[in-house]
Amino acid sequence: MTHSASIRHARTALTSLITVGMLGSCGGSEPITPGLPAAPTGLTATPASATSVTVKWNPVDGATGYTLERRTGTSPYVPVTLPSPTATTVTDTGLNASTSYTYHVSATTAAGTSPYSADVAVTTPAADPTAPTVDSVTIVNGIVGTPERVTISGTASARSGTIQGVTVDWGDASAASSAGTSGTFTATHDYKTSGTYTITITVTDSGGRAVTDSRSVQVTHFGTNSQAHVVFDGAATPRELSGNRRTGVYTGSGCFTSVADRYGVANQAERFNTASSCTVSVAGGADTLAIPLPKDFTVDLWIRPDAARASRGGWLTGQEGGAFSLTLGTDGRVSAALAAPGGGSPLSVTDPATTPANVWTQYVARVEIAGTPAQTTLRLYRKDNATDRSTPARQVAEASVAGAYVLSASRPWTVAEAQGGVTSGTGDRAFAGDVDDLRIYDRALETYEIAALSTLDRYPKPTP
């Protein structure tokens, strides 16, 4: 009798465990894989208007990014754009009134990507049937030479009375713009820094009824955290446009001369070391003043290797002493390398494709240090065909390593001449070919900003 009771108790306990396990899998959350971060908690979704929802969640320690997704009914989840990779609040715009949406979010840390959080459902309210409507909106986000400029236009209709006014809040704490007092509106704004902004259009009719329409835009401003912008435009010294006064000097008399840039504008680029007298120990190049890059940074450069000397490779740019370098190999491929602190193995990436001679090619090296413990990631981007405004630079290589690779804050950078100068004796080969438009930022540029560098730039170069 005692034996049978024990069996019944065991079966009851096992059934309870199975039931708890089954219930625990409901609600959209996933089981936690050992070693991965836990799913974010505290997810909430609140209607902000008939066509937008504000979503929030609790930060995850060490998170380097989040993935927020939304679905309607039983349709597949789609990603929602965040204001920044580590943002924990976002207003999801462009939704439909009187519609149910479901959200979930996951976090990424140095250990990997977490499961998704529990699902949260929300229903947008119904629109006021007598309020005016915003019938169409067009946003021009950045133009050549002015990537920070955004123009918004559209039409609005009154369902009762007449349209009395349209205002545009640009989402950057600046004053709202009046966009007109009729059904057709337009407004233009220049942002002061790069970032993701929510633009809100408010239309008011003669009865005081109002409707809003919000749109998210990613804005690039080339001056945001710029530490150096060295141009090569025929001046006696390389001009520097960042405002930090890091103007460099040319070295190696006879081994540099002004040439046309990638758009064919005369004297807007510099040619180095194509003469037979220019060698490793006697070469031309350029030096900058010291550039502090305490953590994350991005380097952007255009090059055009000389066909006669492309096979010897060469130093493109980098910090004096070689803590960071962008070089052309003897195999015709470009590499970026970041020296390890303490003399360990460098972190390096190489473009798998060769760089063509006598053709302008853009390279962008992006260094990001994130996570706990810290992890350094080096990415290399490449852009072909300088006159193609529609195709941005694309990522061609990536590598990561544990630890923080930090550069000196007091060393200058060299261009074309090698890591220690023209007579350094380090064995670096001086680059032979054309160089233009060196940009250095003390942050890791977002992907859309890297794209803007090659699609929204201005030539001829602006005056300081």
The total domain count for the chain is: 3
* CATH code of residue 334: 2.60.120.200
Do 176 and 237 lie in a common domain?
no
Do 295 and 200 lie in a common domain?
no
pLDDT for res 34: 59
Q: At residue 422, does pLDDT exceed 60?
A: no
Range 170-177, long-range pairs (CB < 8 A, 24+ positions): 170/197, 170/199, 171/197, 171/198, 171/199, 171/200, 172/197
What is the pTM for the complete model shown?
0.79
103-157 pLDDT, tens per residue? 999 999 888 899 999 999 999 998 888 889 998 899 999 999 999 999 999 999 9
Residue 12 lies in a domain: no
Beta bridge partners of 134: 156
Question: Could you tell me what percentage of the chain is helix, strand and coil, using 3-state DSSP and rounding each to the nearest 5?
Answer: 10, 40, 50
pLDDT for res 326: 95
3-class secondary structure, 120: strand
Residue 158 lies in a domain: yes
Q: Could you give the C-alpha distances from 153 to 109, 179, 199, 219, 222, in angstroms and in order? A: 40, 8, 12, 17, 24
Do 334 and 390 lie in a common domain?
yes
218-265 pLDDT, tens per residue? 999 999 999 999 999 888 999 899 988 888 899 888 899 999 999 999
Q: Which two tokens stand for residue 107?
A: 């976090």
Q: Quick check: 306 and 272 in contact, CB under 8 A?
A: no
pLDDT for res 362: 97
- Which amino acid appears at position 454 of this protein? S
Report the candidate in 321, 353, 351 with the shortest Cα–Cα distance to residue 338: 321
Residue 7 lies in a domain: no
3-class secondary structure, 24: helix
pLDDT for res 28: 46
Structural domain range at position 385: 226-455
- Which amino acid appears at position 250 of this protein? Y
Do 279 and 412 lie in a common domain?
yes
Do 387 and 425 lie in a common domain?
yes
Do 87 and 140 lie in a common domain?
no
The torsion region of residue 28 among left (phi > 0), alpha (psi -120 to 50) and beta comes to left
Last residue of one domain, picked from the residues 67, 101, 123: 123
Do 167 and 293 lie in a common domain?
no
Do 197 and 234 lie in a common domain?
no
**pLDDT mean across residues, the chain:** 87
Do 117 and 261 lie in a common domain?
no
Q: How far apart are the first and last CA of the chain?
A: 96
Give the span between the Cα atoms of 403 and 373, in whole angstroms. 7
Residue 128 lies in a domain: no
Is it true that the peptide bond before 83 is cis, omega within 30 degrees of 0? no
pLDDT for res 25: 38
Do 288 and 375 lie in a common domain?
yes
Do 91 and 235 lie in a common domain?
no
* CATH code of residue 172: 2.60.40.10
